[in-house]
Structure 1
Amino acid sequence: MKLTNTTVLGTGVLGSQILFQTAYHGLPVIGYDISDAALQLAAARLDSLVDEYASFFGDPAKAQAARASIQLTSDMAYAVGDADLVIEAVPEDLKIKEETYQKLSSFAPQRTIFATNSSTLLPSDISPFTGRPAQFLALHYANNIWKNNTGEVMGTADTSSEAYEAVVEFAESTGLVPIRVLKEQPGYVLNSLLVPFLESASHLLVNEVADASTIDTTWKLGTGAPYGPFEIYDIVGLNTAYHISSHGDETSKKFAELLKTQYIDQGKLGVATGEGFYKYN
């Protein structure tokens, strides 16, 4: 079962990176989003990734060719009509995912495998909406895919071995290092390590122990890490941080409220919008 024609549902920060990573490794790929306005933002993100890939891999011509090959559409029927693999990267909201998969299953061919990139929801939470549980699993990407190239593959009790191995092969063919997650685990491997770290930082901020810049500086000086937790929040995107924190304990919910009122409502979503906890060119 070789997966060639790929569709990515959701063209936000990570969805756009998945599109570019797939195209850069020579596979045809279509990006779907719900409106022309969303697709205009996606086009700008994809344009900005040309320089990232050209610099990292040292092949500007290949980066330009990858960008030129990516199709964008707001027509789901067209986007998935000939897809071997659909990678879902819509917001971390179970209701949105339910609506997306119910629509998707009516358009996609029976052969199509569905993979969620959800960071926080288990695939088994989503599987009942897909209409094809044996052909559904998770393929989780890290941000800045071209250099942080893990591909965490996690199935459910219903996922067929054929679908699982096909997605592992797809991950390898698109420049990822497949991480075989042997059983369902909220947060997979990467986020099981990362989320508690970020949560600890958010609690320090909400409890007024230190400000964001001080917390970041302390972590970087004390460990030699390239990024502090609030720089990571900006990279991941504050919308994602908000969705995760709003389902946590009382302190996490206070952090979610802080994100909403002081950042998200002001259009400050992190690196993607040029400002979050920090300002970016």
Structure 2
Amino acid sequence: MNINKDRFTNLVGMRNIKTGISVFLCVIVSRLLNLEIPFYACIAAVISMQSSVTSSFHAGRNRMLGTLVGAATGLTFALIAPGNPILCGIGVMIVIFVTNFLKWNKSASIGCIVFSAIMTNLNGRSPVNYSVNRIIDTFVGIGIAVLVNYLIFPPKYLDKVLVTCNSLVDEIILLCGERFCCNKNIDTEHLNKQVSSLKSHIKNYKSDFLINKKELLQVDKVTKISTICDKLFAHINIVNSLEDNLLLDDKNKESLFQIYNRDILNENYKNTNLNIVYNYHMSIVIDCLKALLSMNITKREIIKTSCSK
């Protein structure tokens, strides 16, 4: 049965595939380098394979730092009395203290694991050779994971940023049209989740290595769009909190007509306090909508509202 390539990668997950490739390469490289226990290189690769190249680098760095502290402490204690229960307990406390003191908090657990491996798994082997081999194993696993993540289908956060942004703006324009032209409710909570997702993609992109100045300009533009969305939702929530059946003034009606090409049919505007407040916030909402339309990331047709006349 033929399976579409994109569908297959979506079902299995590209990170899963790259993790499998990394482990495969770890075993091959370990054999070529005559490394004693490929298991440690494979574990380092699995832990270091993250959703972005930068995340892989940081996870690998944390493991490497923890390995160095654990190996140094394990070597020192193994030269005194390998496998000694009291020294094992003291050594773990020292590893945790050192990593916390150096603010390598995420390295503490792997440091304890490496220390314990050296103290309990020597089986007559040289503590020096065993400790050095654990460092080499870890370095090999980390290096392979980072290279695989960088070279094989590297994460395309820019695509995620632009697609999420375009989808969000489209939905906002449509839902605001249905709200203010057709008097339908807006699920602002749903839209806020989409904005949070967009901000998350932006953060991941900006933290990654694979960026250039032209792409960064686009992402900065998207960041401005997310800021406009925050402002828009704040004023929509205020509008929703006001009484029903408030009236738009002529200026706001004309502005909505320019955006949606629909006449807003309501009673003649009355200059009451609530209507003044309502129209003030509506003017800001409309300005935000115009700003979003003027900042299209890709070419997009004006979305028409689907409410009945």
Question: Higher relative contact order at CA 8 Å, sep ≥6: structure 1 or structure 2?
Answer: 2
Give me the TM-score of the superposition, normalised by structure 2. Answer: 0.22
Larger Rg computed on CA atoms = 2
Give me the TM-score of the superposition, normalised by structure 1. Answer: 0.23
